[in-house]
Structure formats: C-alpha cells, structure tokens
Amino acid sequence: MKIVFANSAWVNAVERLILRGGGWHSVRLRVRYGLIFHPTEGAVLIDTGYTPEALTGEGRSRRLRLYGAVLKPELNGAEQVLPMLKRFGLSPDDIRAVIVTHFHADHISGLPLFPKARFIASDAAWARVKSRTPRQNWWHGVFSELFPAGFGDRLDGLSTKRQIEAQGDVPGGADLFGDGSVIAVDLQGHADGQFGLLFVGLERPLLYAVDVQWLLRALTENRTSGFPATLIAEDAAAIEPTSAMLRRFLATGGEVMLCHDPAPTSYDLASAEAG
C-alpha cells in the first residue's frame, strides 16, 4: 500500500501562538491532504485540503469570506487535489472514497469535486452538525455550505466499522477497510469527531495525527500552546491527554505526521516522486 501527502496551501501563523514559549516570528504552515493506493479499495483520499471553492468561489457566505480574509491561505496550485490526481493518472470519478478526518474547511473544501465517492467520517459528529444551525456550526469551525448535497446519504460512518483493540502503546480504533491496514484513531481536542489514521503495515508504523498540534515540536517537546490558541479547540482539556498518547506511540518506535507541520516528510509528494 502506497501513501502520499500533498500540500494544498500555506498559512502563516505567529510561532508563539502555536508553540508554547515560541518566538514572535511567522511560521509558514502546510495544509496537507493525502492519497492512499489501497490494494482492494483503489485510490482513496484523506481529506481534500483547501481548494478555491472555499476561498475564492462565488456565492460564499459572509462568514466564509471573513474566514478566508483572516487566515489568508495561499493556495498551492501545483498540489491542488485535481492536478495532484492527474499526476497519478486519476480523475475525480476514480475516487470512490474520501476519508474525512474532521469537518473544518481546510479538510472538506473539495468534497463536491468527487460525485462518486462515499465519505468515511464520524457519523456521530455529522449528527451534531445536522442538529445545529449554520451559526452554531460556525462557532464549531464548520461551514455547512461546504458539504456537497447528499453528504449524509453517502456517509460511511465510523460506528459501522469493526473496532480493533489497542496493543500496548499502539492505539486501536475503527478498521476502515476490514483488513487492518488503516485504523481510524480517536483524537479528541481539536475538532468534534476528529480522528487520525494509523498505518501498521509499514516498515515503521505511521500515525497521521491531523491537527492534534500544528507543529511536531509542540508534541515532541511537550510545548502545547495555551491561550489564545485553545479558544478554537473543541475540547481544550483533551489536547494534552491525546498528545501524551502520541508521545507514547513515538517512544515505542512509531512515526507521527501532522497536517500543518512545515517540515517535509518522506510521505510528501516531492519525496514520493523522487522515489
């Protein structure tokens, strides 16, 4: 099984806001999404990153326009999801599943581009999205307008998946494809229903921990950012226990990868193409 991550955009953030004790200089963060080449499921996306639909598209709500104006993401045209798929000879119709790790804009922006895909996501979190008003969802960092029509009908919920027990410091979770190759690991703290992806069939187990932290240093050096960064967390009190679990996973030889950490990894597109 091959795994590749691309960078859909860059977002600048003051280091001190995302790393306790950090400096006042700006850090250029990535906005990753991934692509799995699975032996039976075919090409499966992990989120979609930012796309123009969320940032420059016509008809965006006032709140979505304000969101883009505040964060000012810089789209990376070369690694947008459709050009990236084309590099591998794929079209949107070839994507039959998109794993949606959580419902923030930088993860669901491109979902409408994939009309034949089912969406593997937290059905419990989706039920809460449906029960809220658009304004209430906005306070949870969710823009309802970014979901494609019929999202719920195409939802392949985590609650339907077989559960795999934790093995020591290797976490368990939902077996997404029924073969133990990709495990959805609950990662409470950052967003409602956020889960990471554990790949155990690699030379070194990999846990894609999405947005548990913005910087890997915040995790490995135990430098979780506090106020005001905690204001945008769904459950700020859960961030440190979740981070501690990831540190134990690292200590036993696992590898952790984050969505926004700026450092290149061996799974990023440039490394994959070089290999």
So what's the pLDDT on residue 76?
97
pLDDT over 80 at 129, yes or no: yes
**Mean pLDDT in residue range 11-37:** 96
pLDDT over 80 at 227, yes or no: no
With H, G, I as helix, E, B as strand and everything else as coil, classify residue 43: strand
Query: Superfamily for 2-269?
Result: Ribonuclease Z/Hydroxyacylglutathione hydrolase-like (3.60.15.10)
**Interval 171-207: pLDDT, tens:** 999 999 999 999 999 999 999 999 999 998 888 999 9
Token representation of residue 210 = 């999405």
Give the span between the Cα atoms of 202 and 150, in whole angstroms. Answer: 35
So what's the pLDDT on residue 6?
98
Task: Give the model's confidence band at 88: pLDDT under 50 very low, under 70 low, under 90 confident, else very high.
Answer: very high
Task: Give the model's confidence band at 222: pLDDT under 50 very low, under 70 low, under 90 confident, else very high.
Answer: very high
Token representation of residue 219 = 């995790």
* Residue 50, burial from CB neighbour count under 10 angstroms (0-12, 13-18, 19+): buried
Query: Is this prediction's pTM over 0.75?
Result: yes
The full DSSP string for 66-131 is HHHHHH--EE-GGGSHHHHHHHTT--GGG--EEE-S--SHHHHTTGGG-TT-EEEE-HHHHHHHHH
For the ranges 10-14, 51-55, 133-137, the lowest mean pLDDT is seen at: 51-55
pLDDT over 70 at 160, yes or no: yes
Task: Give the number of other CB atoms < 10 A from CB of residue 161.
Answer: 17
